[in-house]
Amino acid sequence: MTNSAQETPEWMQSKERGSLFLLKIMCRISLLAGRNASRIVLHGIALYFMLAVPAARRASRAYLERALGRPPAFSDLYRHILVFSTTIHDRIYQLNDRHELFDVRIFGAEPLHAMHVGGKGCFLFGAHLGSFEMLRSVARDHGGLKVSVAMFPENARRIHETLASINPAVMLDLIPLGQIDSMLEIHKRIQEGAMVGILADRASGPDKYLELPFLGAPARFPTGPFRMAAMLRHPVFFMAGLYMGKNRYEVHFELLADFPSPATSREEEIRFLMEKYVAALERHCREAPFNWFNFFDFWKAADSENS
């Protein structure tokens, strides 16, 4: 079932916590003290987040019950938020090129490397699952792969402010969505051999949705990224950078579609691509359940429309 456009996605209706000032302080402490010593602070941050944000705690409980297949314990909720805090903390080091601090294992990247050698690009559809920043490690280890990130302008502004607070020298190659030439620019970058990353599990602006089964219940996924991929007909990979404990990450790639020939219909093609994306997302959520970072009721809209 396809739903009509929604002006403000559910997750954007809640205020962000924290500030750039506090982030700058945390960055300075982390870089001066080192990763192991500064990680002690994360336990307090995770506990505060659990106690101070009941809506996020409820969302964590609802998700973990689906992903774990059992009612989550208090320790599960705490671990969920601690993993979230850890991936944000590790971003400080990743953006300052401290890649030697991490044990990163990469799976399924051979097709990406082959396309890069041949001068071809692709889409990388990620999710709010683990650390998308681990893509930088893949690019570094595979001969300087070119990476662009497509997002809506307001989110791009926030990302630039956040990156500047971590490392002013770091500037991501961002492509603003929602503009007249957005699709042309994405098409151009991919033709030039770049990988264009999009977090496709939730909308960052007005979009239409398709309801698909996810972790045992219907959930609404934005169709925009998949419609764009079906129109431009570049290869689409699923990507996830999963935190596995201590300093270990696993970066997974999986080919979802390469569009060798036109489908019987565009809508069928889009649905097939989305079904493969959601299946890959669900599989990784079950394999590494504490890496899912959508702290709102992901199933709420579908439940209310079906009631």
Q: At 126, is the pLDDT very low, low, confident or very high (cuts 50, 70, 90)?
A: very high
Residue ranges of E strands in 141-247: 147-151, 174-176, 195-199, 207-214, 217-222, 236-245
Q: How confident is the model at residue 99 (pLDDT cuts 50, 70, 90)?
A: confident
CB 221 within 8 A of CB 212: yes
Q: What amino acid occupies position 188?
A: K
Which residue's entry shows tokens 């199933």? 299
* pLDDT tens digit sequence for 183-224: 999 999 999 999 999 999 987 666 799 999 999 999 999 999
Cα–Cα distance between 241 and 109 in angstroms, integer?
A: 12
More confidently predicted of 259 and 76? 76
Please tell me the chain's helix, strand, coil percentages from 3-state DSSP, rounded to the nearest 5.
Answer: 50, 20, 30
Neighbours of 124 (CB within 10 A): 24
Considering only CA atoms, which of 24, 33, 17, 28 is closest in space to residue 165? 24
What is the sign, positive or negative, of the torsion defined by CA atoms of 168, 172, 177, 183? positive
Bigger pLDDT: 289 vs 149: 289
Question: Which pTM does this prediction carry?
Answer: 0.89
Q: What is the DSSP string of 4-30?
A: EEESS-GGGGS---S-HHHHHHHHHHH
Q: How far apart are CA 129 and CA 143, in angstroms?
A: 25
